[in-house]
Amino acid sequence: MGKIVTVNDAMQTGYSYELTEPEGRNFADDFKPELTPAEMLELGVFGGVYLRDGADEFPPEWFENARFADAKRDPAINFFEVNASQPLQVWRDKGWIYDDDPRGWFQWYCRYYYGRRIPVEDQRQIKRWKNMTRHIGQIKKYCAPGDLVCRRRQRQAVLHWAYDSRKI
């Protein structure tokens, strides 16, 4: 705690933030992600391209088993082997990107998990995270429990938001 992290990667240079909470602890009461950033990266998310150039920002153990694509985005890297991502420009156009987290929600989540807190932005992102439960409801409604083939794209999207869709 109290550590200052400075970011220098392909999307952000010279951005700094302070870790004010211990890693993986003291989350908002209404924010209970089922997967850590390291677990998500190991399972396979975002076609294997997310944070390849930003690993220096976070603890090295987060990346020990990360599944990264060698070159461009590869849906086969994803746990459900489908593309479940919209282009970043769509997120920008909709106003979903916070300036300090130019990669989007997962970057916010990694930094939150790591210990950064920005109260207003944290509330906004947690609200967005909660809104993903509608997708969980659809998976439960249309898929037999444990049927990982049913609604693979939707399951992958839910996985991108730290819900463990393998358990639905």
Q: DSSP readout, 79-121?
A: TTSS-----HHHHHHTT---TT-TT-HHHHHHHHHHT---HHH
- Per-residue buried b or exposed e for 43-64, using 16+ beta carbons within 10 Å of the residue's own CB: bbbbbbbbbeebeebbeeebbe
pLDDT at 53: 84
| Beta bridge pairs of residue 5 | 17
pLDDT at 121: 97
pLDDT at 143: 96
pLDDT at 15: 96
pLDDT at 49: 86
Other C-beta atoms lying within 10 Å of the C-beta of residue 23: 15
| Residue type (1 letter), 155 | R
Spans of the chain, pLDDT less than 50: none
3-state DSSP call for residue 140? helix
The answer to whether the CB of 2 falls within 8 A of the CB of 18 is yes
pLDDT at 38: 97
Angstrom distance (rounded) from CA 45 to CA 110: 13
3-state DSSP call for residue 136? helix
User: What's the CA angle centered on 149, arms 137 and 62, to 5 degrees?
Assistant: 80
Phi, psi of 6 (to 5 degrees): -110, 130
